[in-house]
A and B are shown apart, each in its own frame.
Chain A
Amino acid sequence: MSPTVGPVSRDFNPYSDNGGTILAIAGEDFAVVAGDTRQSEGYNIQTRYAPKVFRLTDKAVLAVNGFAADGNMFVKKVKQRLEWYRHAHGKDMQLRAIARMIQTMLYAKRFFPYYVYNILGGIEEDGSGAVYSFDPVGSYEREACRAAGAAQSLVQPFLDNQIYFKNQTPAIDAPFPRHLPLSHVLSIVTDSFTSATERHIEVGDGLEIYIILAKGKTLSGLGLDGVKGLSEVTSTVDDSDGSASEGESLAEGERIFVLRRELKKD
């Protein structure tokens, strides 16, 4: 038997769990994708700032949670495929196409999976906000909201209650809204992460909330003017110095903003 054939080791564990939690909510004409910035292994905090949420195009944002090394590699490969698409077709890939591509890429490694949970958020071709969630081997579906990661079990039932109005009965003359306003969604996201930080040791340090707006939408139109810690990261905007100047954006289409918040560090 040749010594160079086959896997060399038996009990080497190629995986790790780096904690953290991600979350995404779709609105009528926006989507919000958020994640904490702590990276840990066991009881060890490796760093207080390791982003888990990434801008893919001007209408798609991907959050990746699980084994960080796999996560970073996966995002790298998704971005590479999107660049190839741009070079071939001269435009950005549609959100639902990115979702299908992610499923194929995950399933391609079905027997040595990327140990990551993905949540894709953005704007669909029809201008609606969308969230796609995936398991590590590529099963996926479109949803209105999803939490994943270490504190999924803490956050998801809270979202069921606050986003889907589960176990609540509407008043006869006031049915529940199908879509929530952006400011309301942002409060729910912030509350979800402060709650998760309070009760889960792997969640904390910092929070990054990506906001994707549909074509023609403005922050002030959504009641979010002059919020601190908000900066635009749309590709057509050159200076991302943190000043989200309203109205004067060069962006013709969808726009993306990041909102950064501190979380408890203990």
Chain B
Amino acid sequence: MDHFPTNWGRPRNEAVDLYNTYPLHLRPDNGTYGRPKDSFEEGVQRTRQPIVTGTSVLAIKFKDGVIVAADNLASYGSLARFKDIQRLHAVGTHTVIGAGGDMSDFQHIQHDLDSLIISEFSEGDGHALGPAEIYEYLSQVMYARRSKMNPLWNSILVGGWKDGKSFLGYVDLIGTTYSASTLATGYGAYIAQPLLRKAVEGRENELTEEEAVKIVEESLKVLFYRDARSLNKYQIAIVNEKGVSISDSRIAPTEWSFAEGIRGYGAQTQ
């Protein structure tokens, strides 16, 4: 712990907008205030940052498949701008990807991967790309873009099932990769990951699809309550022997009456 009061700083730095509270043109450090307007500002490239953003993605392995889940919200700063956005995307017949971060970048990635699948199909060699290949391709693209200092601003989970084996991997805007039996991006890494690990670790080969869906839905619900940039409308993708199936949007019932009893926040005066 740093015990020097002078080093503590202020609890919230106005120059950094970590949780995208403001949309781009209203951000404090874009010459609106706090910094003199530069005459050459128009000629200078603007700092890259996510604009329309998606929040957490969750995924776990179970006995005979993988499950990936994400809500349908794309936020513009704190504004819930698009409430029917697809953040899960099937790639070929064995793989699904789910993305948080900038949604336009994600849609670019979707186009990229779709083209890849088409060109691979056109080879007509009977070979289909599996999740491991998609993941490798995607992580190389992400790392290459970060190395050009022009990142694709996403955290992506890749789930898949091929030749009787499950696959689950993470890749982000700086090309960091890792695998585990439970994965979560964004706020999910803080809020949902502990719940997922407790429910899944050591039971990957016992969990049924029904149990897996229940675990993920429960974790999504916790996220709806605590992540202000989330929505209780979500989709779940299952990848197993039969291939990829992405569900229709589901709406989780929520209960807010307890909020009446909470004091200390909000508008109440007493």
Q: Could you tell me which A residues sit within 8 Å of B by CB distance?
A: 1, 3, 6-16, 18, 39, 41, 44, 46-50, 68-69, 72-73, 112
Whether B47 lies near A46 (C-beta < 8 A) is: no
Whether A8 lies near B177 (C-beta < 8 A) is: no
Whether A69 lies near B175 (C-beta < 8 A) is: yes
Whether A8 lies near B48 (C-beta < 8 A) is: yes
17 pairs from A and B in contact (CB 8 Å cutoff): A1-B43, A3-B45, A8-B148, A9-B45, A9-B47, A9-B149, A9-B151, A12-B149, A16-B176, A41-B176, A46-B180, A47-B179, A49-B179, A50-B179, A68-B177, A69-B176, A69-B177
When A and B form their complex, which 4 residue pairs have the shortest distance between CB atoms, in order from nearest? A9-B48, A69-B175, A47-B178, A7-B149
B170 in contact (CB, < 8 A): yes
B82 in contact (CB, < 8 A): no
Whether B146 lies near A46 (C-beta < 8 A) is: no
Q: Which residue of A lies closest to B171 (CB)?
A: A69
Q: Give the contacts of B208-245 with A (CB-CB under 8 A).
A: none
Whether A68 lies near B149 (C-beta < 8 A) is: no
B189 in contact (CB, < 8 A): yes
B62 in contact (CB, < 8 A): no
Provide the B123-167 mask, 1 if CB < 8 A to any CB of A, else 0.
000000000000000000001001111110000000000000000
Whether B176 lies near A68 (C-beta < 8 A) is: yes
Residues of A close to B190: CB separation below 8 A: 44
B99 in contact (CB, < 8 A): no
Q: How far is the CB of B17 from chain A (nearest CB, A)?
A: 12
Residues of B close to A41: CB separation below 8 A: 176
Q: Which residue of B lies closest to A46 (CB)?
A: B178
Whether B143 lies near A69 (C-beta < 8 A) is: yes
Residues of B close to A48: CB separation below 8 A: 180
Q: How far is the CB of B141 from chain A (nearest CB, A)?
A: 13
Q: Which residue of A lies closest to B178 (CB)?
A: A47
Whether B47 lies near A39 (C-beta < 8 A) is: no
Q: Could you tell me which B residues sit within 8 Å of A by CB distance?
A: 43, 45, 47-48, 143, 146-151, 170, 174-180, 189-190
Residues of B close to A14: CB separation below 8 A: 146-147, 149, 151, 174
Contact of B151 among A3, A10, A12, A46 (CB under 8 A): A12
Whether A12 lies near B48 (C-beta < 8 A) is: yes
- A46-B168 Cα distance, complex, nearest whole Å: 13
- A73-B141 Cα distance, complex, nearest whole Å: 12
Q: Which residue of A lies closest to B182 (CB)?
A: A47
Contact of B175 among A44, A50, A73 (CB under 8 A): A73
Instruction: List 19 additional contacts besides A12-B149, A39-B178; criterion CB under 8 Å.
Output: A3-B45, A7-B150, A8-B45, A9-B47, A9-B151, A10-B45, A12-B151, A16-B174, A44-B189, A46-B170, A46-B176, A47-B179, A48-B180, A49-B180, A68-B176, A68-B178, A69-B175, A69-B177, A112-B147
- A48-B48 Cα distance, complex, nearest whole Å: 32
- A216-B264 Cα distance, complex, nearest whole Å: 74
Q: Which residue of A lies closest to B43 (CB)?
A: A1
Whether B174 lies near A6 (C-beta < 8 A) is: no
- A73-B170 Cα distance, complex, nearest whole Å: 16
Q: Which residue of B lies closest to A14 (CB)?
A: B146
Whether A50 lies near B146 (C-beta < 8 A) is: no
Q: Which residue of A lies closest to B176 (CB)?
A: A69
- A6-B43 Cα distance, complex, nearest whole Å: 12
- A68-B177 Cα distance, complex, nearest whole Å: 8
- A204-B190 Cα distance, complex, nearest whole Å: 19
Q: Which residue of B lies closest to A76 (CB)?
A: B140
Q: Which residue of B lies closest to A8 (CB)?
A: B150
Whether B180 lies near A47 (C-beta < 8 A) is: yes
Q: Which residue of B lies closest to A109 (CB)?
A: B147
Q: How far is the CB of A228 from chain B (nearest CB, A)?
A: 20
Residues of B close to A11: CB separation below 8 A: 47
Residues of B close to A69: CB separation below 8 A: 143, 146, 174-177
Residues of B close to A73: CB separation below 8 A: 143, 175
Residues of A close to B177: CB separation below 8 A: 68-69, 72
- A9-B49 Cα distance, complex, nearest whole Å: 9
- A6-B150 Cα distance, complex, nearest whole Å: 10
